[in-house]
Amino acid sequence: MAQVKKKYQQLKDRYGPRYTQVMLGAAFVALFLPMPGSTLIAIALVVVIAEVHRGIAKSLFKPGLATTAHHTSPTNPRATVVPAAVPPPL
């Protein structure tokens, strides 16, 4: 049981709570499909999506860039636009 909790926490730390819940839900639903390997296919699909999302988020939101840059608005050059803060990690 401790090993299951450890693996669940590792998944949660890497992909976040939402993707972890989706993986477990996909595995549960796929258990009832009459196709061999459906559980592995369902989990693999969710993992691929989560990894792509994780990679895009890392490349777009680099720490420190959004908080130090100030830009002027194209419609009003006197107004300063501060980009949104970096979102929390996945």
- What's the domain count of the chain? 1
Q: Does the residue 57 lie in any domain?
A: yes
Per-residue pLDDT tens for 3-61? 989 999 998 998 889 999 999 999 899 989 888 999 999 999 999 999 999 888 888 87
Greater pLDDT, 80 or 22: 22
Q: Does the residue 83 lie in any domain?
A: no
Q: Does the residue 30 lie in any domain?
A: yes
Q: Does the residue 76 lie in any domain?
A: no
Q: Does the residue 72 lie in any domain?
A: no
Whole-number pLDDT of residue 32: 92
Whole-number pLDDT of residue 68: 44
Distance between CA atoms of 50 and 15, rounded to whole angstroms? Answer: 7
Q: Does the residue 6 lie in any domain?
A: yes
Work out whether the CA dihedral 31, 35, 39, 43 comes out positive or negative: negative
Q: Does the residue 50 lie in any domain?
A: yes
Residues 6+ apart with CB under 8 A from 37: none
**15 in Cβ contact with 48 (< 8 Å):** no
Structural domain that includes position 42: 2-61
Whole-number pLDDT of residue 81: 53
